[in-house]
Amino acid sequence: MPSKLKVFATTIILLIIAFTAIDYFLMYQAAQKLKADKVEVLGITPVKLPYEWKITFLVYIENPSDYIFEVKKITYKVYINGTYIGEDFKKYIIIPAKSRSDQTLTFQFDVRDIGEAAIIILSSDHIEVMVKGTIEVPVKLLRTLTISTVSLPYTYTEIVERS
């Protein structure tokens, strides 16, 4: 018959494992509820005329949970009138609990590198900008050890006026 001390120690260890697993599961569920609920193109502006341009946009990330998340990376691909013009990313962003975080992202490009889309940018006052990307959120065991990553895709299209 096992001693009372062994039973007590085993019970404590099982409780610690159970609470750790529950905490991880709750954090994983909360990470899946994060979402980029809106992307707003702030403008397409010249950096160095006539070739270098910059697109600035905001990604609004909604966190309805009680957890604070550290976003590992936000990736974004930029398309103008359906033509891919490039991609970039932003790393290590803190998203507070029960909040909406506004992340400003910029993408700089040279119109000589993008072919047909360059004519549209240089000649049109209205440009269709599509932004596609993912938000990568690490889910951590005991808030320290990354066990998995939740990838949340987003896509947004907007017709913008060239500044």
More confidently predicted of 112 and 1: 112
User: What pLDDT, in 10s, does the model give residues 6-59?
Assistant: 999 999 999 999 998 898 898 999 999 998 888 898 988 888 887 888 989 999
CATH number for the domain spanning 132: value is 2.60.40.10
Nearest in space to 162 (alpha carbons), one of 42, 38, 40, 39: 42
Average model confidence (pLDDT) across the chain: 88
- Count of domains forming the chain: 1
Contact criterion met (CB below 8 Å) for 41 and 89: no
pLDDT band at 123 (very low <50, low <70, confident <90, very high): confident
| Whole-structure pTM value | 0.79
Residue span of the structural domain in which 126 resides: 4-161
Average pLDDT over residues 132-159: 90
Helices (H), the chain: 4-32, 116-123
Give dist(CA 58, CA 56) in Å, integer.
7
Residue found under tokens 């609470």: 19
User: What pLDDT, in 10s, does the model give residues 95-115?
Assistant: 999 999 999 999 998 877 777
